[in-house]
Structure 1
Amino acid sequence: MTSPTQQLAPALDIDARLTEIERSLNLLLNTTPVNAAEAWADFERCDFGTVPTLRLRPLEFEPDLVRRDLYSLEVENVTDPALHTLLRAKRDEIARQITVLEDRDTSRFVYGSLQLYGGIAQPLASAAEELLRIIPAQAPSTRTVTAGAFAEAARAEFDRYRAVYPDFPAHIAVRDDISELMVSFGRLLIPETAVFRADRVEPLLHHEVGTHVVTYQNGARQPLTLLTIGLPGYDETQEGLAVLAEYLTGGLDPRRLRVLAARVVAIGKMLDGADFLEIFESLRADHRIPTKTAWTIAIRVVVGGGNVKDAIYLRGITRLLEALAEGSSLEVLLVGKFALDHIPLIQDLLDREVLEAPWVRPRWLDVPGAQERLDRLRAGLAVTDLYEGEVSA
């Protein structure tokens, strides 16, 4: 008698090949400036008056060859209806990623970004404006830690997981060619020049390690390898889950909420035609965002020619709050990286024993007070309710 996995062998072969192709593209690294620290120094030196020049790394793949590989996959031969739909959608998403990367630093880039990440609907824009209105502006934090100190804290966090799950891999690298903290294919990458707010270290570890690395490793234990790199449109749900981790551990403070809201507002201005300096000055003057934070938000929005990705954080937590209030399971989202819309498909594959229950349980579900906070969310809260009135010193 053949197992469910054996019956799905053709689909799993295509799944593995799609995963390999997306890894070769490395969308995250290839849309991250390699010279952000130098660009900031130049920008500061000219008294914030000159548009920075952001450099992206050269592509290490030939787009036409990757497209040929992509469309040679015989997705039409997959007989399982759910997987056939999923694999076709993933193939189309990868094709859009190739085009986006080809279009970097052109006026076409923003349209590809919109196709990948979606636009800003009025309710999201209104929620962002409301958060910036109701949360008092605050001075930049004075207590900070270096990239090296953050890396040490990250190693300790990995050790906590390895104490419970001895086979949990730990991959941490401090790099000089990235500008943002990120997880890329299960590896925690830390910018060499980064400085982190001391009170943000623990929430960031729950965000990056406890969510992005944990769901990567849970996905790596599944036969469907796309669960490591993400099913189509997974980013929004994944970032919503990571912001939820910050909230449940008491780390979604007023400064952080203002940043998530300011990202949405900045993208709205970019889509309305504002350039870097207009976005930067608006964040400082209209919303009293600290100068370095305004810089970071603005470069993330204009890089490549206009990137709308940063709206997924506020949109992701908003949609997750709605799903929790409707009774959606949080545990199923830990199986790997996928969108809320894929929960029925993932549940079906779990029921058919194609997929297994998550291997690792994130620590953020078990910190003191987390379950009480989660219960409040399940009772129904809007994203603006996440501001609890505290103001950091």
Structure 2
Amino acid sequence: MASVTELGPTLDIDARLTDIERRVDLLLNLTPVNAAEAWADFERSDFGTAPTLRLRPLEFEPDLVRRELYDLPIEDVADPALHKLLVTKRDEIARQITALEDRDTTKFVYGSLQLYGGITPQLTAAAEKLLAGIPAQGTSVPGVTAGVFAEAARAEIQRYQAVYPEFPMHVDVRDDISELMVSFGRLLIPENATFRADRVEPLLHHEVGTHVVTYQNGARQPLTMLTIGLPGYDETQEGLAVLAEYLTGGLDPRRLRVLAARVVAVDLMLGGAGFLDIFATLRDKYQIPRKTAWIIAIRVVVAGGSVKDAIYLRGVARLLEAFAEGVSLDALLVGKLALDHLPLIQDLLDRGVLHAPWVRPRWLDVPGAPERLDRLRAGLSVTDLYEGVVAA
């Protein structure tokens, strides 16, 4: 059985790649710093003037970081699977750097496609079917402030700490971000955000129960890349987080419509539509509420055109296929990884290089979750999830 000490070169390179990706910080560097002001300006223009979104300056020198990446002695790693994993991760970080250099240019969208992949006609058709089949609903549900959501998040983390005392508390309310996110294990909440009261619990299972939990599980592994994510992990991670919402009964019709609208918005952007056309199509054709249509549209046009938001519905679709084929949920919780990595992860688990997940997500034990998981394993498609929500 291989031991961790036998993986010396691998672990050293893995740690250095992790450090480099933390410095690059793709997610934060693609988040507008002026979204609240831009929304106010958009409202004042009677929704007729496209917003100007500002991104933070990069705090690293791209050429120096790129040189550091390609100076890593990956050729010293003898294990073929681990060698390929390290090379692929190095090249992914290099693409992140190039994408960040290309922000606010026409080249950015090509970097986004390289990082997240495109969309198929089948995915777009599924999204349109969801939008056509789920009636649009009003937004009469009361909202809660960022401060209230932060308190709910801290209470949720305390529930984990009751079982896992070393589970850390990292919740920050910030004025320089425009969307809820988990960045390197920290839950970041936009200061000006409001959240539908009935979305608080599902969002906590999504953000804390999936993104933070898999980060902490990855932090207990010798491969630190399992905290920042193995190459291409985003699709599987976001799909798993959405299914956590489903398992807890929180994947409601409004949320499904948003996930579908994101795919349609990406399709429109790739077809040449600008912000105003995307916003108007979502609002007028698909009856997406104005503020929601705004959020979807800015996420798609940011930096020059991002395809990232298509991965949520695509990730759900791929996971549904995997669950129907009997994939191990435990292996997906080891850290941040993609479905394509499961053979390697299982091999490393079998050899004792990796350990079983430290934290079990609370969403597996919510009343009704086992029955919903059985439904997934019996075989559902993305478009079946609406009926599943009604029946749950």
* 2:292 equivalent to 1:281: no
Aligned to 2:71: 72
- Residue 388 (structure 1) shift: 2.1
CA distance in 2, matches of 1:367, 1:134: 28
- Residue 139 (structure 1) shift: 1.0
CA distance in 1, matches of 2:22, 2:358: 23
* 2:183 equivalent to 1:184: yes
- Residue 140 (structure 1) shift: 1.7
Aligned to 2:138: 139
CA distance in 1, matches of 2:24, 2:33: 17
- Residue 390 (structure 1) shift: 6.4
- Residue 389 (structure 1) shift: 7.5
Are 1:350 and 1:356, in contact at CA under 8 Å, matched by a contact in 2? yes
Identity score, percent = 79
Aligned to 1:94: 93
Which deviations, in whole Å up to 9, do the C-alpha atoms of 1:135-169 show, x marking residues without a partner?
Answer: 00111233110000000000000000000000000
Are 1:183 and 1:189, in contact at CA under 8 Å, matched by a contact in 2? yes
Aligned to 1:20: 19
- Residue 261 (structure 1) shift: 0.1
* 2:59 equivalent to 1:46: no
| Structure 2: unaligned runs, 5 residues or longer | none
Aligned to 1:170: 169
**1:52-67 pair list within 5 angstroms:** 52-67=51-66
Aligned to 1:344: 343
Are 1:175 and 1:189, in contact at CA under 8 Å, matched by a contact in 2? yes
* Change in 2 beyond 3 A, CA 1:161/1:390: closer
Amino acid at match of 2:155: A
Aligned to 1:156: 155
CA distance in 1, matches of 2:108, 2:221: 34
CA distance in 2, matches of 1:141, 1:343: 42
Aligned to 2:367: 368
CA distance in 1, matches of 2:81, 2:141: 51
Name the SS of the counterpart of 2:75 in structure 1. Answer: helix
Aligned to 1:222: 221
Across the aligned residues of Structure 1 and Structure 2, the Cα RMSD in angstroms comes to 1.0
Aligned to 1:329: 328
Name the SS of the counterpart of 2:43 in structure 1. Answer: helix
Name the SS of the counterpart of 1:379 in structure 2. Answer: helix
CA distance in 2, matches of 1:77, 1:184: 31
Amino acid at match of 1:117: Y
Aligned to 1:388: 387
Are 1:8 and 1:80, in contact at CA under 8 Å, matched by a contact in 2? no
CA distance in 1, matches of 2:122, 2:89: 28
CA distance in 1, matches of 2:227, 2:389: 37
Which deviations, in whole Å up to 9, do the C-alpha atoms of 1:203-254 show, x marking residues without a partner?
Answer: 0000000000000000000000000000000000000000010000000000
* Change in 2 beyond 3 A, CA 1:389/1:218: closer
- Residue 4 (structure 1) shift: 1.3
Are 1:119 and 1:308, in contact at CA under 8 Å, matched by a contact in 2? yes
Which deviations, in whole Å up to 9, do the C-alpha atoms of 1:157-198 show, x marking residues without a partner?
Answer: 000000000000010000000000000000000000000000
CA distance in 2, matches of 1:173, 1:262: 29
Amino acid at match of 1:96: R
Are 1:76 and 1:84, in contact at CA under 8 Å, matched by a contact in 2? yes
Are 1:215 and 1:335, in contact at CA under 8 Å, matched by a contact in 2? yes
**1:100-111 pair list within 5 angstroms:** 100-111=99-110
Amino acid at match of 1:52: P
Amino acid at match of 2:59: E
Amino acid at match of 1:262: A
- Residue 42 (structure 1) shift: 0.4
Amino acid at match of 1:258: R
Which deviations, in whole Å up to 9, do the C-alpha atoms of 1:30-65 show, x marking residues without a partner?
Answer: 000000000000000110000100000000000000
* 2:243 equivalent to 1:244: yes
Are 1:254 and 1:390, in contact at CA under 8 Å, matched by a contact in 2? yes
